[in-house]
Amino acid sequence: MPLAELIVRAIVVVAVVTAAVLALVYVMQRSLIYFPGSTAPGSELLPRGAEAIELHTSDGLRLASWFLPAAHRSGSAGDRPAGPAVLVFNGNAGDRSHRLPLAEALTERGYAVLLFDYRGYARNPGRPTEEGLRADARAAIDALAARPEVDPERIAYFGESLGSAVAGGLATERQPAALVLRSPPSSLADVGHHHYPFLPTVDPLLLDRYPLVEQVRTLRVPLLVLVTERDEIVPADLSRRVFDAAPGPKRYVPIVASHHNDPALVTGDEMLAAVTSFLDEWLAD
């Protein structure tokens, strides 16, 4: 067989294989992004004084959430002055029970906390999409801001991994008093390029984009970015792009941790100290 014909056949094979891989990625992309669990956490996990509440989205879904009041605030529940709060945005896996240690740590430091699960997670109805998670976030901030224990002008967003992008998107609509992003991805396309470098650009194929870098450029809120240099899921250089794009005031804190889901990034002393110091600076009475 002539060499030229062999080259043409090889090119055709590569093109067909690449097209097949891209088609598979397109069809399965959301299953590669979102990892909702099949179980719903029970309210027996809640600490004393916490409350299970239902969120109502604009497109008619009802989502489960937990409200944890701040500890050590003076006065009874009825006459206690409204205080600062933190809305926590989960990553792309697990459920709100996995963020309970973080929430309890924040309540002990004087912050009320709302934990919630996105659509499709923890037996919530619906399927996760970028637009859907934005609607879920709107329902969550509406519920938290309406609480009598909460000062709506002193609510911070705490986004974890993919939740950072959800928090950043909501911040463009409902500006928080402060924004904490842990391992934030610059965009979904950037994460895709990191994990699938052998593929040609997948940008045109993405159904969900989460363009966090573009969003933070428009924000004028205090920003804290927490990273670990050993993050294998969202490399620190992608998170650094988010930090560099923000106009400020801002703070970048590397945390000593061995991987993306290291407990040091959930309730580690170094992480909690950085978060508490930042929140106290911008949300204090």
CA atoms within 13 A on the CB side of 281: 16
272, part of any domain: yes
Q: What is the DSSP letter of 234?
A: S
Burial class (CB in 10 A: 0-12, 13-18, 19+), 154: buried
188: confidence class by pLDDT, cuts 50, 70, 90: confident
pLDDT value for 115: 98
pLDDT value for 202: 61
Mean pLDDT, rounded, for 203-229? 92
Instruction: Give the percent of the chain with pLDDT over 90.
Output: 71
| Cis geometry, peptide bond prior to residue 249 (ω within 30 degrees of 0) | yes
**Between 197 and 158, the higher pLDDT residue:** 158
Distance CA(141)–CA(138), nearest Å, equals 5
pTM of the model: 0.88
74: confidence class by pLDDT, cuts 50, 70, 90: very low
263, part of any domain: yes
15, part of any domain: no
Distance CA(55)–CA(140), nearest Å, equals 6
| Domains held by the chain: number | 1
Give the closest residue to 117 by CA, choosing from 157, 145, 143, 88: 88
4, part of any domain: no
9, part of any domain: no
**Between 76 and 181, the higher pLDDT residue:** 181
Residue-wise pLDDT for 95-114, tens only, equals 999 999 999 999 999 999 99
Residue 225, CA distances (Å) to 45, 53, 91, 186 in order: 29, 29, 15, 12
Q: SS3 for 247?
A: coil
20, part of any domain: no
What CATH number did the domain enclosing 95 receive? 3.40.50.1820
